Structure 1
């Protein structure tokens, strides 16, 4: 079976940053863009995206690129010789924020693993409006204002992070803030920045010094952090059913809740109470019908399985119904490193579903600490 390709979404705001060199204090709004263009401003966002994509060119056989038409992504891909599939076409030549939002939504609906976008804080707001935290994003800095935490320090740095993900390397994930300033106030000499939301952002691997590979005590402390993260989520979502999969890591969560655990089975917990123990696939479908549901999974066995080993009760019908966003994968970084680069394994019994779930997967590895790790 061939290895699934990394599904990369590329999105460019071609007008990002055009007001900067002309001291227009931003590029938001049709009037500002028209003024900048009339003053001879040059669009540079695609050049910055090209710089980021240089690292991807050598990996083009391992990636499938989805993008928007023309200067919103297609043109830079063609210039670099990167095959791409157009998923959105703007109605007018001068694109607006609504085009960015519509294009981002189209890429999300097409199942990309990451949206790489070029722009500034206004573009980040548009992306956030469309995708929120449902897919990882990474910003190539190209705007006048870069107050948001979703951007890398340079365009080429973004390319390096994306290349790591395409190669299947372990990449940290963080929740990054989207901020923007009031451009009208800025032009009056006032900096008024507002918080508009958060998005999931891949980050370079920085945890190596934080987790010592040799000691059981360190491993136990990290496991406690994972348990604390999941139990806090349970407290914050009292109406949600948490389906607890097999494995010792999941067993540690049940122990912290002082609940009996079926080590080689599947239990259901709600609001800190055991709802059902050692359920069958049919029972699980019935129990969770029309109810908010999350599934807690961990790596089973030396081959890295998260589905299909010890948790066959999690049927393809059940997983498809609750969706990928409802899967909470938990594992220590030591356990992930022990895979020596092998991906997390999906064996739901439904090849089409496995393909839908494949790609970079968020793994909870500590207290509010996550990494992106490939699954297939």
Structure 2
């Protein structure tokens, strides 16, 4: 049986429809403007999806208004592990206390309902506890910039009931005062463990630095003894720079264990340099979307077949090209590469993109 810890931030999102661009420090004003709680309804949608999944699950939750009633209304008999100090004025401390109680009870996943601020409270608490418990958000806040949320309440419910793998994702929070003034100022608050799922939202692009952060992600993921074939272009060039060498801007370089093996390599040189485990890092051509077959033919079918492929790109480039394309000269390989692939767009973030031959 999967045990799901459910915590609801009951004031999340109240400021949105009344034009406050967030609820932090603005609950009283939101209520004066006629704002109604939004999070409980969205929590109910998620929990009904959990119930509809047909999986064997149980719910651990916090006292009202932070989960108990919505869990019962969705047909569960929840284990209630505490209650907020003031039902009419819940705080982030209540959320954190709920998460601590969930970890003590050994839940398998934390399902929270709120926005980026709530996500940060949950993630930071799990980090403080050194807990490896995965988390996932039901989007209910005004600000939902992080990639730790389902794309909808029902999607979040299905995911927590059925997931089998996890991966890291960034929790970003926005300064609400700056946001109300028309400026997006973000802060990386935590790196959380989340379920792997197609219906988990991607992080929103928050401005510059995307290429730099994805380059950091590639560099941090390199493994000893693995040979990296690094394609041309400025995006992969940032990866080369992050690895500590001056790469060939329009050529292919081969790197392993802290040093370049071949610069501006042709196919035969690449094949000679390959080891037992190899990774090809490429970025699509802007405006066209070609991953292979345009400007990097030296990364031949023979090289690709001996390697794992990692595609990296800025979010803006992916938005521009829409789909990715391959034209390796080997129709069978093109067919194998076609389908859906995960493209690294940040330090930890990936976006699911279709590859067509």
Of 151, 154, 160, the match for 1:153: 151
Partner in structure 1 of residue 64 of structure 2: 70
- Report which structure shows greater RCO (CA 8 Å, sep ≥6): 1
Distance verdict in 2 for CA 1:72–1:229, change over 3 Å: farther
Secondary structure, counterpart of 2:182 in structure 1: coil
- Are 1:69 and 1:87, in contact at CA under 8 Å, matched by a contact in 2? yes
Partner in structure 1 of residue 38 of structure 2: 44
What is the distance in 2 between the residues matched to 1:67 and 1:83?
A: 10
Partner in structure 2 of residue 126 of structure 1: 121
Query: Structure 1: which 5+ residue stretches go unaligned?
Result: 166-170, 207-227, 233-367, 370-376
- Are 1:172 and 1:205, in contact at CA under 8 Å, matched by a contact in 2? no
Partner in structure 1 of residue 90 of structure 2: 95
Deviations 1:286-328 (A, max 9, x none): xxxxxxxxxxxxxxxxxxxxxxxxxxxxxxxxxxxxxxxxxxx
The number of residue pairs the alignment matches comes to 204
Normalising to structure 2: TM-score of the pair?
A: 0.53
Q: How far is the alpha carbon of 1:203 from its aligned partner? A: 2.1
Q: Work out whether 1:18 is the aligned partner of 2:14.
A: yes
Q: How far is the alpha carbon of 1:231 from its aligned partner? A: 6.3
Secondary structure, counterpart of 2:167 in structure 1: strand
Partner in structure 2 of residue 33 of structure 1: 27
What is the distance in 2 between the residues matched to 1:181 and 1:59?
A: 34
Q: How far is the alpha carbon of 1:150 from its aligned partner? A: 0.4
RMSD: 2.5
- Show the 5 A alignment for 1:277-288: none
Normalising to structure 1: TM-score of the pair?
A: 0.51
Q: Work out whether 1:80 is the aligned partner of 2:78.
A: no
Deviations 1:105-137 (A, max 9, x none): 111121100001110011011111211262100
What is the distance in 2 between the residues matched to 1:44 and 1:190?
A: 25
Distance verdict in 2 for CA 1:174–1:38, change over 3 Å: same
Q: How far is the alpha carbon of 1:163 from its aligned partner? A: 2.7
Could you list the structure 1 runs, at least 4 aligned residues long, displaced by more than 4 angstroms after superposition. Answer: 228-232
- Are 2:12 and 2:23, in contact at CA under 8 Å, matched by a contact in 1? yes
Partner in structure 1 of residue 138 of structure 2: 140
- Show the 5 A alignment for 1:303-322: none
